[in-house]
Chain A
Amino acid sequence: MASNELELLGQADQARVLDAVRRGATRRDLLGMLGAGGMAAATAGGIFGAAKEAVAQTPRRGGRIRVSGTSTSTADTLDPAKQSLSTDYARCNMFYDGLTTFDGSLTPRPALAESWQQEGAKVWTFKLRRGVTFHDGKPLTAEDVVFSLNRHKDPATASRARSLAMPMTEIVATAPDEVRITLDSPNADLPVVLATFHFHIIKAGTTDFSTAIGTGAFTCREFQPGVRSIAQRNPNYWQAGKGHLDEVEFIGIPDEQARVNALLSGDVQLIAGVDPRSVRRITQAQGHGVFETKSGYYTNLVMRLDMSPASNTDFVLAMKFMFDREQMRTAILRNYGVVGNDQPIDPTNRFFFPGLPQRPFDLDRARFHFQRSGVGSTSLPVVCSPAAPNSVDMAQVMQQTGARIGMNLEVRRVPSDGYWSNHWFKHPIGFGAINPRPSADILLTLFFKSDAAWNESAWRNPQFDQLLSAARAETDEAKRRQMYADMQVMIHNESGIGIPVFQSMLDGHVSRLRGLSPIPVGNLMGFDFAKHVWLEG
């Protein structure tokens, strides 16, 4: 509607009006300006509103913001291969680019690679963008790309993405601006894999990561691990119309209350990780807003199928039926989430299968299966930890519901410290927390394939593994969709994973900060906020 009124004007007039409004023209000024053209006052008023709206949507250059992530420590890194926390992703995304990047639907888009071609999803050729330079002025070449990708395979790099890089059997420069990647087996999702942050492109031969020399929209002015990073706009950024702020200071405040307070006191302008209970407080404060990203993020119950009691199928079913998903969504997440169905593909994903019937909260069926399992009133420890967000609360809700069918669950809270190495899927009943992954294939390969290192519930199904490989190689979208649907059904029915809810990610910001839109790989626009946002005048 608004834009229609603007379109009443010719292109030259449109530009004139927008420019006037941008410089602070009032409705009256505009009326005078347009009145000369003999336009009705009402129409001119409409144009004024539309122009104001359009200006608000137009990025403004300049300004400085301070942003807080959810953690900071001396392990903060500028080494793309070592990124492991959300704060690392947000920091590195300011300084580096990948060959590809995600849009709001997680479809890979060209970034440093201008285009790509594939043969049988096995041999891929990426054409690099010309005229891109690193922050120190060196032009980007194929050699840099080969180095950046190859280093993940070396165990000494300690790359978090080693398992994703290992299938790239050969990475070679075929021309100064062309790289060929050969895979050990076909993967139609390679451009998605390359958009994950660990595959950021660095200069060939880089070993020192005390500062960041990338091709990103910001240059690194200061980096103090555990304290702060300061990013300055890169005037030579290759992508026109991105990177509006002069400076971004990035810090980490681990305590959620302290983070919200810092936002509301004006000390920071954008915070990641808002607890659903703080949303009302932020939105009620003048000049602040909350930005929601619906995503595939979930905290899941892990029942080891190779240990008692979950080796008993009836027990697993009983647990799944006594999941009070609705109560968890309302009481724990304050409705910032979507009810899950014991399979890991969430509704924002293009391969989500809506045809799978929702498993209900049904105490009668839970009781029936529980009695058939013969577990009885033995005390069953449920291991939870603050490391897996909300797991302690979920365990308590389950304990309450369990008591109603005679199940004796005992909540065992363990420290966050060392949780992932010592507790995660090491107990018969416990919790995991899985960050969103950019593709169904990556997610299923990491967590559900029979021989996956993180096959949490030790669920093994050769048929599933075959389907997974076939779907990866399949380039026909419709066939692929059907395969992923079948796999979701299998996990829903057979695995030892219970997924009660998919949790939304919430960020708080000052209302003046514009340009935020969800990219569902994580908080803060999939950690890529810096180049997109701007401050309203």
Chain B
Amino acid sequence: MLSLVAARLALGLVSLLLVSLAIFAITSLLPGDAAEELLGQYATRETVAGLRASLGLDLPAHLRYLAWLKGLATGDFGRSLASNMPVAQLIGSRLPNSLMLAAATAAVSVPIALTIGITAAMYRGSAYDRTVSMLTLSVVSVPEFLVATAAVIVFAVQLRWLSALSTTADITSVAQFFRVFALPVFALCCVIVAQMVRMTRAAIIDQLRAPYVEMAVLKGVGPLRVVLHHALPNAIGPIANAVALSLSYLLGGVIIVETIFNYPGVAKLMVDGVAQRDLPVVQACAMLFCAAYLVLVTTADIIAILSNPRLRHP
């Protein structure tokens, strides 16, 4: 197990390097550079040239990449081209917000999704199963911006129970925490619960049909025990992967929720970075998301191996 983790770590570093290279290449393929984007409608030949020189964008691309890589080796992520602030500081001020939102959403959505998924599999074909299935599908098919805006209109504008904006600076108490996070967490749960529910249900049903489970049922083991002790351990690989995929969405993919609730997280930082061709910011964000994704899927793989004796001792 340790050797697997070590190997994954080493490979992870390679992935990160690949990501940084890919992002760099893609950004230079994109039309326009930071100087042009920053000046926008004001761009003229002289001002663009002046800004380019002061940002160091007049150097050839490979030199800029090497310089960035050299900085990275000493732990320096560089400075944002748009704001001239250190990238580490920009990310440092927003990452806690993103992690807090992700953690709150995970804490609510994972238990709910697993419970629904497992019970739906236990009573597959029943009215409950069908209702749950219809509901999760309906919820996931509503565009995120519609769910979030509708929730704001009902709970913040009409009822005035909750805040339409999620400003972390306002949090001083548990009640405040709830007021600020309730709506974004709700909107995000709507997006990610369905995938986890459907995968859990499908994976467990698959196992319930396996001969060894049928054997257990024939031996008179109760349905709950069959699911939890026999089917679940074998189904946990795909379930853990579905959970990991859903959770990986919570860091970089929450741009719509961050925009609608004006929540200062890293997803918005990255999208702004792309729009402004702010390469150091985009690089750092992409590597951050990649690292988070790798941690999640590696954890899922390890959980899968640990829970399945056949994979543990191949």
Q: Which residues in A have some Cβ–Cβ distance to B below 8 Å?
A: 68, 73-77, 82, 84, 154-160, 162-163, 210, 224-228, 251-255, 257-258, 261-262, 264-268, 417-418, 420-422, 424, 453-454
Closest partner residue, chain A, to B159 (CB atom) = A265
How far does the Cβ of B285 sit from chain A's closest Cβ, in whole Å?
11
A421 and B273: CB pair below 8 A? no
Closest partner residue, chain B, to A264 (CB atom) = B157
Within 8 A of A (CB), among B148-197: 149, 152-153, 156-157, 160, 163-165, 167
Q: A255-B259, A258-B152 are in contact. Are A265 and B45 (CB under 8 A)?
A: no
Closest partner residue, chain A, to B38 (CB atom) = A75
With A and B bound together, what is the CA distance between A251 and B268 in angstroms? 14
Q: A75-B83, A267-B156 are in contact. Are A155 and B163 (CB under 8 A)?
A: no
A417 and B275: CB pair below 8 A? yes
One of A154, A253, A420 near B43 (C-beta < 8 A)? A420
B153 and A261: CB pair below 8 A? yes
Q: Indicate if B281 sits at the interface (CB-CB under 8 A).
A: yes
One of B44, B165, B261 near A162 (C-beta < 8 A)? B44
How far does the Cβ of A402 sit from chain B's closest Cβ, in whole Å?
28
Q: Indicate if B139 sits at the interface (CB-CB under 8 A).
A: no
Closest partner residue, chain A, to B45 (CB atom) = A453
Taking each of A159, A162, A421, which has the highest tally of chain B beta carbons within 10 Å of its own beta carbon? A421
Q: A155-B46, A265-B157 are in contact. Are A227 and B38 (CB under 8 A)?
A: no
What chain B residues lie within 8 Å of A262 (beta carbons)?
A: 164-165, 262
Within 8 A of A (CB), among B273-291: 273-276, 278, 281
What chain A residues lie within 8 Å of B275 (beta carbons)?
A: 73, 417
How far does the Cβ of A250 sit from chain B's closest Cβ, in whole Å?
12
Within 8 A of A (CB), among B28-43: 30-32, 35-43
B46 and A74: CB pair below 8 A? no
What chain A residues lie within 8 Å of B16 (beta carbons)?
A: none
Stretch of B50-58, B219-227, B245-253, B306-314 at the chain-chain interface: B50-58
Sample of 20 more A-B contacts, CB < 8 Å, known A258-B152, A262-B165, A417-B275: A73-B82, A73-B272, A84-B41, A155-B53, A158-B50, A160-B47, A162-B44, A226-B264, A228-B167, A251-B262, A255-B145, A258-B259, A258-B261, A261-B152, A265-B156, A265-B160, A267-B163, A418-B30, A418-B37, A420-B36
Taking each of A159, A225, A265, which has the highest tally of chain B beta carbons within 10 Å of its own beta carbon? A265
With A and B bound together, what is the CA distance between A156 and B35 in angstroms? 11
Closest partner residue, chain B, to A162 (CB atom) = B47
With A and B bound together, what is the CA distance between A154 and B53 in angstroms? 12
B83 and A225: CB pair below 8 A? yes
A421 and B37: CB pair below 8 A? yes
How far does the Cβ of B7 sit from chain A's closest Cβ, in whole Å?
37
Taking each of B36, B41, B51, B260, which has the highest tally of chain A beta carbons within 10 Å of its own beta carbon? B41
Taking each of A163, A258, A424, which has the highest tally of chain B beta carbons within 10 Å of its own beta carbon? A258
One of B53, B85, B274 near A417 (C-beta < 8 A)? B274
What chain B residues lie within 8 Å of A254 (beta carbons)?
A: 259
B82 and A158: CB pair below 8 A? no
One of B38, B145, B259, B262 near A158 (C-beta < 8 A)? B38
